[in-house]
Amino acid sequence: MSLIPSALARVLVLGVAALALVACGDDDEAGSAATPSASPERVSVVATTMQLQDFARQVGGDRVEVTGILGPDNEPHEYEPTPSDAEALADADVVLENGANLDEWLDDLLANAGSKAKRVTAVDGIELLPTEEEGFPGDPHVWHDPDNAKRMVDNIATGLSAANSEGRTTFVRNATAYKAKLDGMAKQIRATFAPIPADRRNLITTHDAFGYFVRASDLNQVGTVLPSVSTDSEPSGRQVRELVEAIRAQDVKAIFTEEAVDASLEKQIADEAGAEVSTSLYADVLGEPGSEGETYIDAELANAKAMAAAWAGS
């Protein structure tokens, strides 16, 4: 008797879910049809992460039309591609991926879209920080080191030139100009941290995304709330205990969140250890247009400022 309603419920649930997905697909298609298509002479570039989208616009200038896959609300580690992503890929000349297993969902997407685009992997040639995480060749969050960002920009310039040789001079010129700005950003970050004594530069973040930032700016990563370079995990009692002990032992002032939505775990840990929950950092995404983290450079500077403010005020 109980089997029948159970089976019925399952079928209904799956049916409604499928309907919902189909409905969503239609909606997305309508959305992308409304946006103007790339003019024929421009190189059509699809980029996964927001950092890559910014880099591609900086390097490509007017010669490229950049379509982004991830937005300010999409965590790259757990992204579910949509039909409109496949559509954008089908028409793309160049596909920019981060690599190092951050955006590994792109493989399936490319296969499904039947894309013939040139694939550019931004982390190529960058030495990855080691991670014990299974499935990751190394820590994928390379962009948080300005030197790595410059290498990514070079990789993008090379990739764009290969797809559009007439644009080469422009791409190289733009890349050089942007790398100068990145040098300026690195200088500003150093200046921001300069007044902070080394024993106060104790960083705790939600997930392990700031390894390169920590190395570049001489910070001390005390720990992370989620025990992973990815965001889809839950800490155990022991991991929470060890983090609380580390916060107390090293007198850490602040725990930085990443998304403002549900920071209850961060709040409990901060309460128990006698620290504060601080402003959220731009870890894997950039901010909404108009926010203080709108571009890559803005976001990195905002991160440095937030950290320095929390550490200076103690």
**Residues at the site binding Zn ion, with contacts judged by CB under 5 A:** 209, 284
Report whether 206 contacts 195 (CB < 8 A).
no
290: contact with other proteins by CB under 8 A: no
Contacts (CB under 8 A) with other proteins, residues 66-85: 71, 73-75, 77-78, 80
From the list 12, 33, 162, 191, which residue makes contact with other proteins (rule: CB under 8 A)? 12
From the list 68, 211, 223, 227, which residue makes contact with other proteins (rule: CB under 8 A)? 227
* Burial class (CB within 10 angstroms; exposed 0-12, middle 13-18, buried 19+) of 226: buried
Nearer Cβ to Zn ion (85/258) = 258
CA-to-CA separations, 73 to 259, 261, 288, in angstroms, rounded:
9, 11, 9
Q: For residues 183 and 271, what is the distance between their CA atoms, to the nearest angstrom?
A: 39
Least gap, CB of 60 to Zn ion (angstroms): 25
Nearer Cβ to Zn ion (97/284) = 284
Name the residue with tokens 């930032």.
Answer: 213
Report the SS3 class of residue 302: helix
Contacts (CB under 8 A) with other proteins, residues 79-138: 80
Q: For residues 8 and 163, what is the distance between their CA atoms, to the nearest angstrom?
A: 53
Nearer Cβ to other proteins (104/272) = 272
DSSP 21-56: HHHHHHHHHHHHHHSPPPPTTSEEEEESSHHHHHHH
**Quick one: what does residue 238 bind among other proteins, Zn ion, none, with the CB cut-off 5 to 8 Å set by partner type?**
other proteins
Packing angle between helix 3-34 and helix 83-90, nearest 10 degrees? 40
Report the phi/psi class of residue 245: left, alpha or beta, with left for phi > 0 and alpha for psi in -120 to 50.
alpha
Nearer Cβ to other proteins (24/162) = 24
Start-to-end CA span in the chain (Å): 65
From the list 240, 281, 299, 310, which residue makes contact with other proteins (rule: CB under 8 A)? 240
**x/- map, 151-190, other proteins, by CB under 8 A:** ----------------------------------------
Taken in order 304, 297, 105, 134, the sign of the CA dihedral is negative
CA-to-CA separations, 309 to 7, 15, 37, 235, 247, in angstroms, rounded:
56, 51, 44, 28, 18
**Quick one: what does residue 155 bind among Zn ion, other proteins, none, with the CB cut-off 5 to 8 Å set by partner type?**
none
Report whether 144 contacts 210 (CB < 8 A).
yes
Least gap, CB of 142 to Zn ion (angstroms): 11
From the list 34, 40, 135, 261, which residue makes contact with other proteins (rule: CB under 8 A)? 261
Nearer Cβ to other proteins (21/33) = 21
246: contact with other proteins by CB under 8 A: no
**Quick one: what does residue 35 bind among other proteins, Zn ion, none, with the CB cut-off 5 to 8 Å set by partner type?**
none
198: contact with other proteins by CB under 8 A: no
33: contact with other proteins by CB under 8 A: no
Residue ranges in contact with other proteins by CB under 8 A:
1-2, 5-6, 8-10, 12-13, 15-17, 19-21, 23-24, 27, 71, 73-75, 77-78, 80, 227, 231-241, 244, 259-269, 271-272
